[in-house]
Amino acid sequence: MERTLVILKPGTVQRGLIGEVTSRLEKKGLFLVGLKMQWLDDQILSEHYSHLKDKPFFGLLKKAMSSCPVVLMCWEGKDAVSVVRTLIGPTNGRLAPAGTIRGDYSMSTQENIIHASDSTENAEIEINRFFKKEELFDYQFKLIDSIYASDEK
Ligand code: UDP
Ligand code: MG
């Protein structure tokens, strides 16, 4: 099983979509192993978005991401990183297919509802960036046999 980092962005908090977006991840069959609300500062956002530091929108993006607290989540499941990326859809909400989270809730590239790790390497780095070890929970997933075949887990 794999873990991935999800951020529900300020627009999701302000628009009252936390429940709807979280519900999609739950209904898919992913297991929630970490959850908290946090106000992200410039330092952590500069780290998190370091791959975009030379882009003209870097400042705007950081300003938007620090405009109100966000919801940080860690989800677990088989191939969780790629499964969540498929669920959220491509970056630009206007181009994201209907049925994806961004496709259904976003009209923007920047204001695109949700962040999710894009590789297993980055997932590990991002989970460690936003969660302390004691904030992540190991517990029995009681419905796991209804979600996976016995040779899939
Ligand atoms: N972003 C933006 N303008 C762009 C590209 C990206 O404002 O032209 C923002 C957008 O919020 C995106 C984030 O920067 O989610 C991170 O960009 P990335 O390319 O990593 O896209 P993602 O992995 O979120 O799909
Ligand atoms: Mg990305």
From first to last of its 153 residues, the chain has per-residue pLDDT tens of 999 999 999 999 999 999 999 999 999 999 999 999 999 999 999 999 999 999 999 999 999 999 999 999 999 999 999 999 999 999 999 999 999 999 999 999 999 999 999 999 999 999 999 999 999 999 999 999 999 999 998
Dist. CA 58 → ligand 2 center (Å) = 13
Q: What pLDDT sits at residue 132?
A: 98
Dist. CA 38 → ligand 1 center (Å) = 20
Q: Which ligand lies nearest the alpha carbon of 86?
A: 1
Which single residue is written with the structure tokens 């429940």? 19
Residues within 6 Å of ligand 1 by CB: 52, 57, 61, 91, 109-110, 112, 115, 118
Q: What pLDDT sits at residue 153?
A: 81
Q: Which of 153, 72, 147 minimizes the C-alpha distance to 117? A: 72
Q: Which of 59, 60, 65 minimizes the C-alpha distance to 9? A: 65
- Among this protein's residues, is 115 annotated catalytic? yes
Residues in CB range of 137: below 8 A, 6 or more apart = 33, 34
Residues in CB range of 9: below 8 A, 6 or more apart = 64, 65, 70, 111, 112, 113, 114, 115
Q: Which is catalytic among the residues 3, 9, 48, 115?
A: 115
Order the strands of the 31-38 sheet from edge to edge.
31-38, 70-77, 2-8, 114-116
- Angle between the 18-28 and 80-88 helix axes, to the nearest 10 degrees? 130
